[in-house]
Homo-oligomer: A and B are copies of this chain.
């Protein structure tokens, strides 16, 4: 039976649906592939924001009030780093720091990012596979009037203020999918691909830009279902709305559909955007309209079930 689900996720919004999928699918039935284009080296640490968002969400460690990072967080190491004159533009919590230290020393010891991620998520009791998109470094950069900015510079230090003229993924065309991503793409029982409600340009495109991924996805004749990251014609969080405008595209689900193009079979949009349905269907897409804002665990599971139903995957 073709029931394995391959989900592609970025950070916060994607991580919520990832947690919903993990709540309704067994570990055998789900591979969560996570964007690593936002990863960066900072203060000697390898920081993987999207892997960590998905990890913390699945482990129940995510801070739901702040919306990112670990709950019950403190900031003492950062305060000391600031007192020592070190860069403080990227705020790292103490518990989060433990994750970066563990990851960084194991990477330096020679483990791959896949191996490190499998180990650390396993230690946190996560049974589902959280998989980096690639073990090779891929770095998302934003074109601006100041030149190409590394993603975290743009996103955190500059708070997305510069006008974006383009997006590129340094290293992507030479980077192959991680072993578990490649294995999921090739699984006989692959039943669906779910694109989580992450930024298509910044969080999903890096995954699609890896060597061979677009053709492998297109070659698998399984339903590809995306959950739109737009709600009420705006991005719920992050720079998607601003970015769409700067790239000369309307802030609407039509842009999301155009962006994914032929890859996509089904788009799930928020009930606030029900007016988009006609235009999307005219493009040949099937569409589900439902609440997509995920505030609680119940919301995440409900949206996961909607996505799986759209993909023809049965859940218990």
Contacts and interface: CB of A to CB of B under 8 A. Distances in A.
A81 interface: yes
A77 interface: yes
Contacts of A73: 76
A216 interface: no
Interface stretch (A96-104, A134-142, A163-171, A187-195): A96-104
Given A74-B74, A85-B119, A80 B105 contact: no
Given A44-B108, A74-B76, A76-B74, A81 B94 contact: no
A120 interface: yes
Nearest to A73: B76
Interface residues of A, number: 33
Contacts of A93: 76
B101 A79 contact: no
A78 interface: yes
A45 interface: yes
A120 to B, nearest CB: 5
Contact of A84 (B77, B85, B98): B98
A95 to B, nearest CB: 4
A124 interface: yes
Given A43-B102, A72-B76, A81-B101, 11 more contacts: A44-B101, A77-B97, A77-B101, A80-B98, A81-B102, A83-B98, A83-B124, A84-B120, A84-B123, A85-B123, A94-B97
